Amino acid sequence: MRDSYKQMLDRASAKTQETSKFFKKLKKIKTAELDNLFLERHIRYSSEIDCLDCANCCRGTGPLIKERDIKRLSKSLSMKPGEFTDTYLQVDEEGDMIFREMPCPFIAGNNYCIVYEDRPTACREYPHTDRQKIAKYLGPTLKNYSICPIVYLVIEDLKKTIP
């Protein structure tokens, strides 16, 4: 991971309480306005951060794996869905399918994803700061604040914009 990215995430970890309070303000903003605020910043900052120089999401936070992901990934790996599930997945405490081990079993040493074209939907959509109705995802966004430099930059910019 680039040093500058690590420094951002260290600062994020140090500001967890402050940021948690800020998220309470975000919940009061109208849906369309909040979506636009996030999307605008997502576009700006996702072009500034090179995910291949980070891959912190692949190394530390696992995606939820849906049935359609299992079908796509198992086909890509020439496995039966049941075999894929038995080999790579487990059920978490909330009943969701997740990878059995982290870092992601499909991340290569150069941070490239060996199943990139067939990666899980949650990976495709990460860091989720461009979602519509982002207010529903503020909980995961707060967690991602100290995981993803893009989320960190989006939130820090919003802090300057929203008093």
Say if residues 156 and 37 touch (Cβ distance below 8 Å). no
CA distance 72 to 66: 10
Whether residues 13 and 93 share a domain: the answer is no
Mean pLDDT of 120-130: 96
Domain range for 142 is 3-57+127-161
Q: How much of the chain exceeds pLDDT 90, in percent? A: 96
Structural domains in the chain (count): 2
pLDDT of residue 48: 95
Do residue 79 and residue 116 come from a single domain? yes
Residue 114: the pLDDT is 96
- DSSP code of residue 99: E
What is the tally of helices (H) and strands (E) in the chain? 9, 2
Mean confidence (pLDDT) of the chain:
95
> Residue 114 in contact with residue 108, Cβ under 8 Å?
yes
What's the whole-number mean pLDDT along residues 138-160? Answer: 96
